[in-house]
Amino acid sequence: MSLSLLPLLLAAVAALCWGAPPAGELRCRCVRAIAERIPPRHLVQVELVPEGPHCAVPEVIATTKQGHTLCLSPSVPWVKLLVARFLGRYVARS
């Protein structure tokens, strides 16, 4: 290979790597889920991550007003109500 083609090849490889989408995490985000009740007024966001190839169980991830991220047990009744409430807000805004 001639030395004049080397910079062109490096630029092409760099462009491909730079524009490539980041690979998603292929593991559960929640290592341990808590079941203790948390007052909804302390939460600013609730995210429901359905089960899939990345994780065998659904995950409920809540963010507090202080910026802490908590994993909530999706099988607990109060968490089910919380998810329905937050999803209801989202649907109402759409």
d(CA 45, CA 27): 22
Please report, for the chain, the start and end positions of each structural domain, with discontinuous segments joined by +: 28-93
Q: pLDDT at position 20, please?
A: 43
How much of the chain is in helix, strand and coil states, percent to nearest 5? 35, 20, 45
Half-sphere exposure of 55 (CA within 13 A, CB side): 15
Considering the four listed CATH numbers 1.10.630.10, 3.30.420.10, 2.40.50.40, 3.50.50.60, the one that applies to the domain covering 28-93 is 2.40.50.40
Q: pLDDT at position 24, please?
A: 61
Per residue of the chain (94 residues), give pLDDT as tens: 566 766 666 666 665 555 444 456 678 999 999 999 999 999 999 999 999 988 999 999 999 999 999 999 999 999 999 998 887 766 656 5
Helix, strand or coil for residue 41?
helix
d(CA 59, CA 74): 6
